[in-house]
Amino acid sequence: MSMLVEENSAKHRYEILVDDALAGFTAYLPRGEVLVFTHTEVDPNFQNMGVGSALMRGTLDQVRAQGQRVVPQCPFMAAFIERHPEYADLVTSPA
């Protein structure tokens, strides 16, 4: 099973593809260098397979690589960052 996380900037979201099928996404509002994440969804067919965690990891790694920060308004992302403090440095407060 291959998983790929990529940004769909036209839709303001990061998407995860599992074997080329859209399995989930996390949506954001762009605020300059800060991305306010508002909502995460994983297709029910792909739940309990680590897709949500892979989506968070891939998204946050790409945000870090681009020198951006996040405001995790989405409870799923907030909980993920709480469980994975290596991403805590990406969190900022809304401007």
Query: Does the structure show a pLDDT above 70 at 22?
Result: yes
Angle at alpha carbon of residue 72, lines to 77 and 39, rounded to 5°: 65
The domain ranges of the chain are 3-90
pLDDT classification of 1: cutoffs 50, 70, 90: confident
Q: Using CA atoms, how far apart are residues 87 and 82, in angstroms rounded to an integer?
A: 8
Q: Using CA atoms, how far apart are residues 74 and 72, in angstroms rounded to an integer?
A: 5
pLDDT in tens, 59-77: 999 999 999 999 999 999 9
3-90 is classed CATH 3.40.190.10? no
